[in-house]
Chains A and B, each alone.
Chain A
Amino acid sequence: MATTTLTPEARAYNRSWVLDWLTTVDHKKIGIMYIVNSFLFFFLAGILALVIRTELAVPGLQFLDDATYNETFTMHGTIMIFLFVVPMLAGFGNYIVPLEIGAPDMAFPRINALSFWFLPLGGLMILSGYLFGGAAAEGWTGYAPLSEAKYAAGAGTDLWIIGLVMVGTASILGSVNFIATIFKMRAPGMTLLRMPIFAWTILVTATLILLATPVLTAGLIALFIDRNYGGSFFDPAAGGDPILWQHIFWFFGHPEVYIVILPAMGIASEIIPVFSRKPLFGYRAFVFATITIGLLSFSVWAHHMFASGQVFLPFFTFMSALIGVPTGVKVFNWLATMWRGSIILATPMLFAIGFVAMFVIGGISGVILASAAVDFHLHDTYFVVAHLHYVFFGGSVFGIFAATYFWFPKMTGKRLNEKLGKLHFWIHFVGFNLAFFPMHSLGITGMPRRIADYDPTNTGWIILNSLETVGAFLIAISVLPFLVNVVATLINGEKVGDDPWEGNTLEWATSSPPPSYNFEKLPPIHSERPVFDLRHRHDAERLAAQGAEASH
């Protein structure tokens, strides 16, 4: 299988760059396409969020009607989760994992490309509902019977279903690729317990995707059959059961949220040691905590259904509280890594520390919701919205920006500007907390979620909602220094070499950006920090050589 550049007399030839990117099977290019595509969907769903917040800033229906509002939050949630966070993390996984394990590419490169292309096309299919009588409007959770044909007529929900089946299939194929790559293509000397934590989290995440997403596919197909072929899965009038939808959806849905957070935890576990100049505290504990979270994630799904009255409450409360334990182990380990380290507060580290702090808050509100008795009061209120945004946004999105700043130099050979990065971080941090912290209070005082309008006499709610809208716009504004930074750096940024951050893992042992086959040579691998070991062997050798000279 020779590529066109492999003959010894290879010379540069000009292929159109469009064709190059359309036909590539190189994991690095595919990773970049995932990342760019995901950022585009992020901005789109972010605009939808601004629409929501503008509507909610004051009571009364300003410029949306109820039906359009429902479409807006449905599309916001669906796009953010399925077309931004998950593919973004998959994109970083795609670029970085083969490099971190010393492999030349993924196990199945063409299927890798296929997994990518399903994403923009599936996403456009989901969005095309707007052009065919209205996009899906039943929440990203699509509960039956609201999503059945009699209440949600029109092609929008069908397009949503098919688009999600496409995107889900792409994820499943991607996870086959990741697992096969990690098990079969590690460099010599890299045992599983010397593999970087980011690769471990991708491995466990891929396993969750492999096992959970097909269940969603089954449920979506069942819903499609109900809507289109007279099926009776979820329609009580015909003998079906709406609670069945909830079980099927959340059996997928809960592992999904761990799919969303585990790679971000892996990213933090790569960045924090580098910028603390210390090894990761408790590497093995991390590995086992990751595996435990993965296993337990299949045992807690019904905590999303406490209020349905059909769930065995003590078991799910117990398991939901239990899953906080391995997560707590990780938080402790990150803090212990930083303790007595020489902390460098570069932008990736700011986002990584922000990730830990915001995720702890989200985790605490999660444990509160795990208690069924408390959940009965907080279910479907803004408390849940606060929780999910602290873990999704404060967790995954902070992790995504941390990864962007950290690996940008590897991908492009140029480092992003630190001043703009810090500006981005601080506006983002303030805006995020302003937007979402007050939601805890709104939820406790009873403001329901997914409503377009609220009590005009409740001044407390009006003040908090307005503050949240200001916060949302601050988040939007923070994106500007980020975009300016990216474009300006690409045009004229500071060039860097192989290892600008003095990293620990194999991706820093090759050029920035790497050649198409990734590595000319690989360093020996005797620990989970091969590049760190390499740097310090040179120091040791150099000192020995100086000592030898001095003694002459």
Chain B
Amino acid sequence: MAAETPTMQVVAEPRREAGMPTPMVGMLLFIASEVMFFGGLFAAYFNSRADHAAEWGPPGGHELEAWPLATILTIILVTSSFTIQFGINAIRRGDQRKLRMWVGLTLLLGVVFLLGQLYDYSTLGFGIGDGIFGTTFYTLTGFHGAHVFGGAVGMTILFARASQGQFSAKNHVAVEAISIYWHFVDVVWIALYFTLYWLK
């Protein structure tokens, strides 16, 4: 019945997309959910810490040292946010080669971060099963590391696609989306770094 009516109008213009590209909207929403996920883990951390305020610290009397390794890792990850942003600027100008270089550099820094994190784990002297401090520490840093790994996978995909010339100045939404994920992962690390290593 509705299809026959003369007063119905064809959608004359194909819809022009205004505003933020849909994949970016999707990535921002996904990041919102990840913020809540880490929120749950941080809540567990702070609750546990409040329960044991007097004796909060690694088991066996070790202290968690911010210097040198954790601070260096922080510098590495923050730098990698800058490098990917330079890559974004490059592709917005249409410079594929520069994009590829900055993505590669970001990926490298990310991998170094992960390896450094694993090295740190090996020197700590306590594990996830060693009391409430060990559990919360490894859960928080471990899931952050998993998210860095996910971001590294994303960077690898970007690197591969950039190598095949699949990005242009007008058409590179995947780069924008993955870069914003990378910044999110960096921000979570900064929060972790201050919470775990500085909040005494």
Interface residues in chain A, defined as those with a beta carbon under 8 Å from any beta carbon in chain B: 107-108, 172, 175-177, 179-180, 183-185, 187-188, 210-219, 221-222, 225-226, 229-233, 238-241, 244, 247-248, 251, 497-499, 508-511, 519-524, 531, 534, 537-538, 541
Give which listed residue, B11, B34, B44, contacts A222 with CB less than 8 A: B44
Residue in contact with A247 in the complex, picked from B10, B43, B129, CB distance below 8 Å: B43
Chain A contacts for B115, CB-based, 8 A:
none
Residues on A with C-beta less than 8 A from B190 are none
Name which of B33, B128, B129, B130 has the most chain A CB atoms within 10 A of its CB.
B33
**A residues in contact with B9, CB < 8 Å:** 521-524
Of A211, A238, A510, A537, which contacts B132 at CB under 8 A?
A238
Q: Note all chain A residues with C-beta closer than 8 A to B63.
A: none
Neighbouring A residues of B36 by C-beta, 8 Å: 210-212, 214-215
Assembled-state Cα–Cα distance A486/B132 (Å): 55
A508→B2 contact, CB < 8 A: yes
List which B1-43 residues lie within 8 A (CB) of chain A. Answer: 1-3, 5, 7-11, 13, 15, 17, 19, 22, 25-26, 29-30, 32-34, 36-41, 43
Chain B nearest Cβ from A348, distance in angstroms: 19
**Residues of B contacting A519 in the complex (Cβ-Cβ under 8 angstroms):** 11
Cβ–Cβ contact B131 & A180, under 8 A: no
- A499 to B4 alpha-carbon distance, docked (Å): 13
B40/A219 in contact, CB under 8 A: yes
B2 contacts A534, C-beta separation under 8 Å? yes
**B37 close to A217 (CB less than 8 A):** yes
Option from A218, A238, A511, A534 in Cβ contact (under 8 Å) with B37: A218
CB distance from B33 to the nearest CB of A (A): 5
Partner of B40, one of A175, A218, A497, A498: A218
Which of B45-53, B76-84, B117-125, B156-164 faces chain A?
B45-53
Number of residue pairs spanning A and B whose beta carbons lie under 8 angstroms apart = 157
Known: A222-B139, A248-B40. A498 touches B3 (CB 8 A): yes
10 new A-B contacts, CB < 8 A, other than A187-B11, A244-B44, are A179-B29, A180-B29, A214-B40, A215-B36, A225-B139, A230-B135, A232-B131, A233-B135, A498-B2, A534-B5
Query: Quick one: given A233-B132, A239-B132, are A521 and B3 in contact (CB under 8 Å)?
Result: yes
Taking residues whose C-beta sits less than 8 angstroms from the other chain, chain B's interface range is: 35 or more
In the complex, what residues of A have CB within 8 A of residue B136's CB? Answer: 233
The 4 A-B residue pairs with the shortest CB-CB distance, nearest first, are: A230-B129, A218-B40, A239-B132, A214-B37
Q: How far is the CA of A139 from the CA of B26 in the complex (A)?
A: 34
- Chain B contact surface mostly: helix
Given contacts A214-B40, A222-B139, contact A240 B132 (CB under 8 A): yes
With A213-B33, A244-B48 as given contacts, are A107 and B11 in contact (CB-CB < 8 Å)? Answer: no
For residue B5, which residues in chain A have a CB less than 8 angstroms away from its CB?
A: 523, 534, 538
Complex formed: what's the CA distance from A28 to B52 in Å? 53
In this complex, what residue of A is CB-closest to B133?
A: A239
Say yes or no: A240 contacts B48, CB within 8 Å: yes
- Which chain B residues lie closer than 8 Å to A214 at the CB level? 33-34, 36-37, 39-40
Nearest B residue to A500 via CB reads B1
Complex CA distance for A200 and B31, rounded to whole angstroms: 22
Main secondary structure of the interface of A (DSSP, over half): helix
- Can you give 10 contacting A-B residue pairs, CB < 8 Å? A177-B26, A180-B22, A184-B22, A218-B39, A221-B139, A222-B44, A225-B128, A248-B44, A499-B1, A524-B9
Instruction: Chain A residues near B34: list those with CB within 8 A.
Output: 214
- Cβ of A233: which chain B residues have Cβ within 8 Å of it? 44, 48, 132, 135-136, 139
Q: Is the CB of B135 within 8 A of A225?
A: yes
- Cα separation A188 to B44 with both chains bound (whole Å): 46
Q: Which residue of B lies closest to A508 (CB)?
A: B2
Q: Contact at A241–B51, with CB atoms within 8 Å?
A: yes
Cβ of A510 and Cβ of B2 under 8 Å apart?
Answer: yes
Question: Given A239-B52, A241-B47, A244-B44, are A180 and B25 also a contact pair (CB < 8 Å)?
Answer: yes
Closest to A222 in B: B44
User: How many Å from the CB of B190 to the closest CB on chain A?
Assistant: 19
Q: Measured between C-beta atoms, what is the minimum distance from A179 to chain B in Å?
A: 6
Nearest chain B residue, comparing its CB with the CB of A178: B29
Q: Which residue of the partner chain A has the closest CB to B51?
A: A241
Residue numbers in A under 8 Å from B15 (CB-CB) = 185, 187-188
Measured between C-beta atoms, what is the minimum distance from A384 to chain B in Å? 25
Residue of A nearest to B19 (CB): A184
- In the complex, the answer to whether B25 meets A534 with C-beta atoms within 8 Å is no
Q: Which residue of B lies closest to A220 (CB)?
A: B40
Of the candidates B51, B52, B129, the one whose C-beta lies within 8 Å of that of A231 is B129
